[in-house]
Structure 1
Amino acid sequence: MKQLVRNLAAAALLAMASPAAGSSSAFAAEYTAKIGHLESPQQSRHVHLEKVAKLVSERTGGAVEFQIFPQGQLGSQREMNEGVQLGILQATVAPAAFLGGFNPVVSVLDIPFLLPDDDADAQKIRDGAFGKAVCASFESRGVTCVDLWPNGKKNFTSNHPITSLDDFAGQKFRVMDSNILIEQFNALGASAIALPFGELYTSLQTGVVDGEENPLDTIQRMKFYEVQKHLVLSSHGAMEDVILFNTAWWDSLPEEYQTIITDAFQEVIPDLIAHKAESVAAALEEIKASGIDVRDMSAEEKAAFREKMYPAGRAAYVERAGKEGEDLIAIYEQEYAAATK
């Protein structure tokens, strides 16, 4: 937390020395929010946060200013989460997988094959009662969730063939430290090993693990394809962002400004999805050019994998999230059925 305070002090000096991101007014804003996140300035999250900042500034006549700090400039995601809770930081856009420690309910988003492949169907679930319930679960944790943002899907890679369900048996896969992710591999007869992200390349190279799961642009950016022989385009894991504001700061805004902000975050989602798709397509071309074996998982295969993996992830989630989790799953399953019928 001390590091976060130091980083914010440095950010304040930087903001005084240069125009703030998203500022379109020569006058001082009435409400200023510093928003921290982990991605680079070239990635979809940051690009579209800048778009939101511009829209908000324009539509409030410069009264609300967002200052965007990418790439962990304000600290680790945990530090930023705590900073938003305490009011030291006004907002963060965080991967859901990094939020389960203080809100187990949001870990529902770790469950494999949670969202449909079709972007429109997936957005119906985000926009519906399920997405609203996920956001509402943060209210008792001292922060205000404004919306969920899509940020891609995970795929499988391995140094051994992964052409069928049976091929996963006996293989070792790296996962983030999540019981849900561990159980999804146990359901396939594979072993899941929680390792720090920074150790993954070497662990794949030396055989500590056989494979991993990540979005294509991460696989490309981190060069994991250099130390993997097989890639399956499974899109099995949703990578969702959660937009969180400090509740006291949010409540200090006039209702009109709150509406402008929530509308702006919602408005850019189609462009966000398109930008991410372009990034993923470019990453896939580079990966294919390396000579790694790449194959698409068919719809029938996905259904078979979901039949194995979803119940295991669901059970692990409900065990951790309790009654809140059970209630949320009930909402989700009803909306998933409606969106995919």
Structure 2
Amino acid sequence: MKKLFLSSISILLITILLVGCGENTTSPTAGGDQETYNWRFAHEENNGSIQDVYVKKFVEVLEEKSGGKINIDIYPVGQIGDATQQAELLQNGGLEFAMVSPGNTGTIVPENQLFSLHFLFSENMDVNREVFKTSKALNEILSDKYLEKNIQVLSYWTEGPMEWTTKNPVNTPEKWKGVKMRTMPSPMIVASYEAYGANPTPVPYMEVYSGLQLNMIEGQENPISAIQEMKFYEVQDYLTLGSSSLYVTCTCVNPEFFNGLPEDIQQMILDTADELVDFSFEAQADLNGGALDLIKADSDIEVVELTKEERAAFKEASKSAYDKYIEMVGADGEKILNTLLEEIAAVEGK
């Protein structure tokens, strides 16, 4: 309770400071005939990460669309709190924009934990791109759940498949028993690894390297680009290309702020988010592909690719987590999951 109280106080103080420093800001220029906008956009990763690349492109495109009327300051993770605190700041109006990833906000929007289910999406990334663009399950039903929590989703996109680094081989479900696996603070991610008999251990992102180095944890999951950027491969022996799930994140805006903007500015924001879905898929493919080459060149970590049979075994073992998801979130979550599964199958069948 004391930690929760202190966290709430911290969020309140940061919110007051941010609002005081740079109000959602519309101010006339010297000529008096044009308004300018000065906003903030926080993301969950370091400079140079895929989220950083995406956010910088988002800012570039939006500023260009506005003809210089819009100016946005970017805050990487840690500058104004961790990923969960940034989401809370967005809810409270301390930020205008933020990247919000389900692994960090599963307790805020429980239904978003379906992204943590293993082997949910297609192995074909072109299929997934189409699903993210057109899905009613995501863009309507799930987005309404975010809106109920004072977060407006502009778009969903992926940083790429989640891959495993571990101390020991984990290419079959049986080999996961007892493995101390670092996870994000999402009950569904925990349940997904418990389905294999692992010992999921939530650890803040910036503490993962030291946790692996000190054997406090034995493995972690991330897109290849993050594994290379954070140098997790230096303190691990196996890199297993399981592609068990996609790291899904979403570009979000504070709804009260957004609704208070002129319609033409709102449309610029919506258009920018739509345009960047394709960019995000291309960026993750480039970054992840290049990162794997760098890892291989810079280490002797053993890279393991799952066979078709091994992947099938994991799919079977993961089914209990789907039941757990429905149990945790109820009928609304079940509707989102079933609708999404039907949409994925429909796009794959084209």
Q: Which amino acid aligns with 1:59?
A: K
Q: Which is further off, 62-71 or 210-219? A: 62-71
The 3-state SS of whatever aligns with 2:271 is helix
Q: Which is further off, 274-283 or 97-106? A: 274-283
Matched, 1:143 2:143: no
Check conservation: 2:164, 2:219, Cα contact below 8 A.
Answer: yes
Q: CA RMSD in A?
A: 2.8
Matched, 1:53 2:62: no
Counterparts in 2 of 1:301 and 1:240: CA distance versus 1, 3 Å:
same
Check conservation: 2:107, 2:186, Cα contact below 8 A.
Answer: no
Partner residue, 1:121: 127
Q: From 106, 122, 145, give the equivalent of 1:100.
A: 106
The 3-state SS of whatever aligns with 2:343 is helix
Q: Which amino acid aligns with 1:294?
A: V
Q: Which is further off, 141-150 or 73-82? A: 73-82
Q: From 35, 38, 41, give the equivalent of 2:41.
A: 35
Q: Which amino acid aligns with 1:321?
A: V
Q: Which amino acid aligns with 1:230?
A: Y
Q: From 220, 239, 243, give the equivalent of 1:212.
A: 220
Q: From 40, 63, 69, give the equivalent of 2:75.
A: 69
Partner residue, 2:18: 8
Q: From 126, 147, 172, give the equivalent of 1:164.
A: 172
Counterparts in 2 of 1:282 and 1:6: CA distance versus 1, 3 Å:
farther
Q: Which amino acid aligns with 1:306?
A: K
Deviation at residue 278 of structure 1 after TM alignment: 2.4
Check conservation: 1:172, 1:210, Cα contact below 8 A.
Answer: yes
The 3-state SS of whatever aligns with 2:244 is strand
TM-score by length of 2: 0.84
Check conservation: 1:180, 1:312, Cα contact below 8 A.
Answer: no
Partner residue, 2:300: 291
Distance 2:202 2:142 in 1: 25
Q: From 318, 326, 331, give the equivalent of 1:323.
A: 331
Q: From 74, 81, 91, give the equivalent of 2:87.
A: 81
Partner residue, 2:255: 247
Identical-pair percentage: 26
Counterparts in 2 of 1:80 and 1:177: CA distance versus 1, 3 Å:
closer
Check conservation: 1:143, 1:244, Cα contact below 8 A.
Answer: yes
Q: Which is further off, 157-166 or 223-232? A: 157-166
Deviation at residue 52 of structure 1 after TM alignment: 2.2
The 3-state SS of whatever aligns with 1:218 is helix
Deviation at residue 11 of structure 1 after TM alignment: 6.0
Check conservation: 2:22, 2:38, Cα contact below 8 A.
Answer: no
- Please list every run of 5 or more consecutive structure 1 residues that lacks an aligned counterpart in the other structure: 16-25
Superposition pairs for residues 260-299 of structure 1, below 5 Å? 260-289=268-297, 290-299=299-308
TM-score by length of 1: 0.86
Deviation at residue 68 of structure 1 after TM alignment: 2.5
Partner residue, 1:226: 234
Deviation at residue 294 of structure 1 after TM alignment: 0.3
Partner residue, 1:191: 199
Partner residue, 1:44: 50
Counterparts in 2 of 1:259 and 1:299: CA distance versus 1, 3 Å:
farther
Distance 1:238 1:7 in 2: 35
Deviation at residue 99 of structure 1 after TM alignment: 1.6
1:63-114: CA deviations, max 9, x gaps?
Answer: 4443322233233223322222222221211222112221111122111122
Distance 2:68 2:206 in 1: 40
Distance 2:311 2:261 in 1: 45
Q: How many pairs align? A: 331
Q: Which amino acid aligns with 1:129?
A: K
Partner residue, 1:302: 311
Deviation at residue 198 of structure 1 after TM alignment: 4.2
The list of structure 1 runs, each at least 4 consecutive aligned residues, that deviate by more than 4 angstroms after superposition, is none
